[in-house]
Amino acid sequence: MSMLDGVSQCWLLSETCVVWWDAWAVLVGAFVGIATVVVAARSWLTSNRAADIASDTAKITLLSAEIAKDSARIAEEAKIIAERQHEETINQRRMTAQILGSLLHSEIAMLPVRLGSIIETLDEATIAPDGTVIGREELNWIFAELSHPCLPAAESALDRLHCLEQGLGEQVAQLIGLWKTIGVAAKRAAGRVPKADSATEVVIPKNANGFNDYMLLRTSLLSLLAHSIAAARNFAKFTGSHLSTYDHEESLIKRAR
């Protein structure tokens, strides 16, 4: 006898051997019950796992929201700090510009006058058909003037000229550059001037290289004078200082045209 005898008394099925359906129903019901328990157990385990996952997801979502909130706060604080730093930089630059304006105003205002004196001394020379005659003392004074810096205070503040507004820094730098170029030309011209210690006058023959240097020097000084007048007027407006007319210096430029 085996367990199968409980559900069927004979094998194989025939007219005299039929299925014992009641026994099979009980057996199938038992299997269904077991399967139901297994499915229910797995569902319970799955639902618990899903609940854990949902809980973890909610925690992650909450943490992400907090991180996003903190990030937004940090970004806003960084923006405020950057704006303050920018404002401080602008204020610092404005203060530096005001200090530079007070420091450089006088020497920039005097540069056209200084250049006018040099040009007038050059114009004291006598232009003859065969050359130019000028006093040695006057010529030595001109060369000495051109060997010195034109704007010593401005040159010492070259790294801060960009703080000046309205393009003034560029104008001042241009004046310094032009003066240095003229200084090189003056040094070359001085080396070509005839040496005669006993003579009170210097004669520069028209066919000599020194004559061309002399004429180029005068032309360059007139150009620098025009630039210096424009810069001085712009600087006076920037600093709110008295605006010089420079009528005499402008007459030198007009006379040369």
Please give the average per-residue pLDDT across 137-163, as a whole number.
Answer: 88
pLDDT tens by residue, 32-43: 667 676 666 676
Element holding 134 (H helix, E strand): strand 131-135
What average pLDDT score do residues 163-169 get?
A: 82
Quickly state the pLDDT bin for 160 (edges 50, 70, 90).
confident
Contact 222, 162 (CB under 8 A): no
Task: Please state, in angstroms and rounded to a whole number, the distance separating the CA atoms of residues 232 and 254.
Answer: 18
223-255 tens-digit pLDDT? 999 999 999 998 888 888 887 889 999 999 888
Q: DSSP class of residue 1?
A: -
Name residues whose C-beta falls within 8 Å of residue 216's C-beta, 6 or more positions apart in sequence: 185
Q: Of 14, 31, 168, 56, whose CA–CA distance to 105 is shortest? A: 168
253 burial level (CB within 10 Å; 0-12, 13-18, 19+): middle
| Percentage of the chain modeled with pLDDT above 90 | 19
pTM for the full model? 0.64
